[in-house]
Chain A
Amino acid sequence: MRVNGAEVEAAVDPRTSLLDLLRETLGLSGTKKGCDQGACGACTVLADGERILSCLALAVQYAGREITTVEGLAGPDGPHPLQRAFIDHDGFQCGYCTPGHLCSAVGMAAEAARGVPSYVTADLTADRVVLDRDEIRERMSGNLCRCGAHNGIVAAIAATYAAGPGERA
């Protein structure tokens, strides 16, 4: 598989989750483990641009796929605009949920750009979804934050994707 643009080769126990492969085998501890049960979103990464819960993914199933983690979000000219926005809007306190939030938001913006509706979307047939605060709050509800940085997180996502959903994803 490719992780953050680099080819990786690893012999893994078939029981190993993608999350543990990243954290333990590859030493990419930026992706967090909050529950290992699919309930918190801390382990969210992008697989070929789609957000997935890496704790619920077996590593062996992702052979040949392109995985992006928080360590891979930054571009050649520095952090991703969303990463900057999280700092500007104080979108975290302890920072433990943050990598999952960041990857999730990038994937979420791409979903909105494709017109994938959510529970709060009024027009289910629209080509594009405008990411207003309610859309963001609904679509990010799978990412828990116990420090209570919700307002800052939503503000950071809104500031980043207000210009157009998915533009920077």
Chain B
Amino acid sequence: MTTSAHGRAPVGPAPENWAGPVPDPLTDPARTRRIGEPMPRLEGLAKVTGRIKFAAEHAYPGMLYAALACSTIPKGRITALDVADAERAPGVVLVMTHRNAPRMNPMPGFGSDPKAGGFDTLPVLQDDRVHWNGQPIAVVLAETQEQADHAATLIRVGYAPEPAVTSWEEAVANGTAPTTIYGGPGRRELGDAEAALRAADVSVDEVYRTPYHNHAAIEPHAATVLWDGDELFVHDTTQMVAHSAWSLAKIFGIPEERVHISAPYLGGGFGGKGLWWYQVLAAAASRLAGRPVRIALTRENVFRTVGSRARTEQRVAIGATADGRFEAIIHTGASATSRSADLSEPFILPAQCTYAARTFKLGVEVAYLDMMANTSMRAPGGAVGSFALECAIDELAVKLGMDPIELRLRNEPRQEPIDGRPLSARNLVRAWRAGAERFGWDRRNPTPGAVRDGEWLIGMGCAAATHPYVRSPGAAARITLHRDGRAEVEVAAHDMGMGTATAQTQVIADRLGLEPHQVTFRFGDSRLPGLVMAGGSQQTAAIGAAVAAAHRELLAQLLKLVGDGSPLGGLEPDQVGSLDGGVAALDDPSRHESYADILDRAGRDRLVAEAVAQPPEELTARSMHSFGAMFCEVRVSSVTGEVRVTRFLGSMDCGRIVNPRTAASQFRGGIIMGIGLALTEELVLDDRTGRVVNASLADYHIPVHLDVPEIDLIWTDIPDPHAPMGARGIGEIGITGTGAAIANAVYNATGRRVRDLPITPDKLL
């Protein structure tokens, strides 16, 4: 490598094909200065002083407040709707129902178009039909929130109920249907797994159940909406500004560029902040009233009108040879969905990639209920699928009399297990070894119930974590380079707390050879370039690839500006890179000219380079996944059945870590949500009425401080040569494996195997 006087090498253009043999120059630590630094969050001071404005915190003159009235039956027709008292109530400006709502097109379902963002495809408030218990049937606008809330209680509704499917058992009895996983196959098979299972020396075959889960972001969904003629502006809290803008345009039948969504900061998302009914209702009501509208969902509204993670019932069967080699992995079952969502909870994702086996039978089907559309929640499929799979492996280890880590290592694949794609920087074995040593796994007593401290039974458990590398097509970036050497980079991306802006500022500084303070990263606005969803833990890669493409374009433009007198004269774009605030020849960094000089000489104030990221060919060419080895110690009260997580270690393998500080917080956040999944979280739908029973944070229990131990983390930090910056996703993986690690620790502590989440005390007594 050729380096500059400072010992650094220029950062040349990123590869044109991420699946190819040439990695991103930023995978090389010798070319980076800021990547890998624990830079504090850029917006930290603004957040701790309360200066960040969230969606419900923008006020406009004449703004009205919205309140919803929602159905109390799961299915049927509205036969009577008396809004007279509500309309007469003090301060009320409008009561909007299906009778007076403007005509609107149905929500474009996610996946039906690259830009479609609806997780529910029903028409919003267009007819007298009720599709789920809690469906909005009226919107009240009033001068104050108190007035709107009160008036909403004055609406009287009569229904003609129709038979509804509201219990899981009934839905399954009606027959489950094959489905897809994000457009891909919902079924994967290799060989005859059932025959291999029957012939195996040792096997397990069990059913695992997981309930509905709610994202429970502490910021409830909200939007502040205003129309200017037929232009719609929305302050929203969304993980998909570009998708939402396009979809709202379709719903209202207006050109895409007339919808503008701003969502720079979110009070948490976790998959739940997309396009739901509330934005549409607010925009429609605002249009009718001719005034700006604020809609801030109550916590109960959030539980009833925004989708949750669907419940699942999963069969996992594993057959092995006497020495622990997997002959068959069977992972099948069903998850709940509504007809309007038709979305599976793809719990077979971990079984597709984590272990080698001679045969596979994997499949997810859906059972239809008359319920609120379900949606993705942190690690869709992986969170609940890894619970079932990794518990089954623990059960098999017990039957084999083998250490559960040893059993996992014995079945480490050499290629993607089913389709044979080559692995890309998979270092799970290393993560297991490092984690086992750090956690003190060798001190674990394999005999269940053998370790006791007074009333407390103590156990250790482990499980593998995994999440696919995702990079959706369509991300774009615009770099504006200023004469004073500053750069602005704009991407329609999101920061709901992951630290996107901070991490990307580090990446951009390294890619452009600048200092972080010279970089401004703009995001969270639908007017910015590209299509990036904060989903699938893909933003680091998606933004990274988009900025890399724009950087390639920028280098080409800069070279066009340099004259023969420049030290860079005669060089081609592939022969130069960014270094020390300018451009340098890759093979001779002393041939260098600063951005400022190049722009100065050319008489330009700024240079703008915009490009779309290369198509994600690495996804189909390689097997790319983040992994982790999760270790847990629990104490279980033999008196009350209470489970306390006392120690936890995540040993992660997610490629290169861009910012260790924010990455650690992301891992911890996932793991803590996994503690909730394991021990307390269960959204209950009444079997008779389909109504959410525990629609409050007092009744839906997320982990609190006393439930959360100090969480230890280590990571391999080995760059993935096919990912931008060598970094795979980190945001969702923490919740995977965690549920099983806790369940397996509970088994080790007590000898009780709980296959039904959450592991509440009653199940241990």
Q: Which residues of A contact B (CB under 8 A)?
A: 13, 15-16, 20, 23-24, 27-40, 42, 69-71, 73-74, 79, 83-84, 86-88, 90, 92-99, 102, 133-134, 136-138, 140-154
Q: Give min CB distance, A13 to chain B, whole Å.
A: 5
Q: Which residues of B contact A (CB under 8 A)?
A: 40-41, 43-45, 47-54, 56-57, 59, 144-147, 150, 215-220, 265-268, 270, 296, 298-299, 496-499, 661-662, 664-666, 668-673, 696-698, 702-708, 710-711, 734
Residues from chain B with a CB closer than 8 A to the CB of A93 are: 268, 497-499, 662, 665-666, 669
A148 x B48 contact (CB < 8 A): no
Residues from chain B with a CB closer than 8 A to the CB of A28 are: 50
Q: Give min CB distance, A14 to chain B, whole Å.
A: 9
Given A36-B299, A39-B698: A87 in contact with B48 (beta carbons within 8 A)? yes
Among candidates B44, B48, B220, B668, residue contacting A33 with C-beta atoms closer than 8 Å: B220
Among candidates B44, B669, B697, residue contacting A147 with C-beta atoms closer than 8 Å: B669
B145 x A32 contact (CB < 8 A): no
Among candidates B49, B147, B265, B697, residue contacting A34 with C-beta atoms closer than 8 Å: B697
Given A20-B145, A37-B696: A87 in contact with B706 (beta carbons within 8 A)? no
The 6 sampled A-B contact pairs (Cβ below 8 Å) are A30-B51, A87-B40, A87-B44, A95-B52, A145-B218, A148-B708
Residues from chain B with a CB closer than 8 A to the CB of A39 are: 299, 696-698
Residue of A with least CB distance to B664: A90
Residues from chain A with a CB closer than 8 A to the CB of B496 are: 94
Residue of A with least CB distance to B56: A33
B57 x A23 contact (CB < 8 A): yes
Among candidates A35, A97, A151, residue contacting B299 with C-beta atoms closer than 8 Å: A35
A95 x B696 contact (CB < 8 A): no
Residue of B with least CB distance to A138: B706
Q: Give min CB distance, B105 to chain A, whole Å.
A: 32
A141 x B661 contact (CB < 8 A): no
A96 x B219 contact (CB < 8 A): yes
A79 x B45 contact (CB < 8 A): yes
Cα distance A13–B146 in the bound complex, in angstroms: 8
A150 x B696 contact (CB < 8 A): no
Residue of B with least CB distance to A156: B48
Indicate the member of B43, B144, B266, B697 with the most A CB atoms within 10 Å: B697
Residues from chain B with a CB closer than 8 A to the CB of A140 are: 705
B268 x A15 contact (CB < 8 A): no
Given A94-B497, A137-B706, A141-B705: A32 in contact with B218 (beta carbons within 8 A)? yes
The B interface is mostly helix, strand or loop, or mixed, namely loop
Residues from chain A with a CB closer than 8 A to the CB of B59 are: 24, 27
B706 x A146 contact (CB < 8 A): no
Cα distance A138–B698 in the bound complex, in angstroms: 17
Residues from chain A with a CB closer than 8 A to the CB of B668 are: 148-151
B48 x A144 contact (CB < 8 A): no
Residues from chain A with a CB closer than 8 A to the CB of B267 are: 32, 94-97
Residues from chain B with a CB closer than 8 A to the CB of A94 are: 217-219, 265-268, 496-497
Q: Give min CB distance, B711 to chain A, whole Å.
A: 6
Q: Which 3 A-B pairs have the closest CB atoms?
A: A30-B50, A96-B267, A94-B497
Residues from chain A with a CB closer than 8 A to the CB of B147 are: 13
Cα distance A16–B184 in the bound complex, in angstroms: 51
Given A32-B267, A34-B218: A83 in contact with B49 (beta carbons within 8 A)? yes
Among candidates A32, A141, A152, residue contacting B219 with C-beta atoms closer than 8 Å: A32
Among candidates B40, B47, B150, B705, residue contacting A98 with C-beta atoms closer than 8 Å: B47
A147 x B49 contact (CB < 8 A): no
Residues from chain A with a CB closer than 8 A to the CB of B44 are: 86-87, 92
Residue of A with least CB distance to B48: A83
Residue of A with least CB distance to B51: A30
Among candidates B50, B57, B698, residue contacting A70 with C-beta atoms closer than 8 Å: B50
Cα distance A154–B45 in the bound complex, in angstroms: 18
Residue of A with least CB distance to B149: A15
Cα distance A31–B45 in the bound complex, in angstroms: 15
7 extra interface residue pairs, beta carbon distance < 8 Å, beyond A93-B499, A94-B496, A144-B702: A13-B147, A23-B57, A32-B218, A34-B218, A93-B497, A137-B705, A144-B697
Residues from chain A with a CB closer than 8 A to the CB of B664 are: 90
Cα distance A102–B710 in the bound complex, in angstroms: 20
Residues from chain A with a CB closer than 8 A to the CB of B734 are: 148
Residue of B with least CB distance to A80: B48
A29 x B50 contact (CB < 8 A): yes
Given A37-B698, A87-B45: A138 in contact with B705 (beta carbons within 8 A)? yes
Cα distance A47–B328 in the bound complex, in angstroms: 63
Given A23-B57, A94-B267, A149-B669: A70 in contact with B145 (beta carbons within 8 A)? no
B665 x A13 contact (CB < 8 A): no
B50 x A71 contact (CB < 8 A): yes
Cα distance A16–B149 in the bound complex, in angstroms: 11
Residue of A with least CB distance to B699: A39
Residues from chain A with a CB closer than 8 A to the CB of B669 are: 93, 147-149
Residue of A with least CB distance to B298: A36
Residues from chain B with a CB closer than 8 A to the CB of A96 are: 54, 217-219, 267-268
A148 x B665 contact (CB < 8 A): yes
B497 x A34 contact (CB < 8 A): no
A146 x B50 contact (CB < 8 A): no
Residues from chain A with a CB closer than 8 A to the CB of B708 are: 137, 148, 150-151
Residue of A with least CB distance to B222: A33
Residues from chain B with a CB closer than 8 A to the CB of A141 are: 704-707
Q: Give min CB distance, A99 to chain B, whole Å.
A: 5
Given A95-B265, A146-B216: A74 in contact with B145 (beta carbons within 8 A)? no
Cα distance A33–B218 in the bound complex, in angstroms: 8
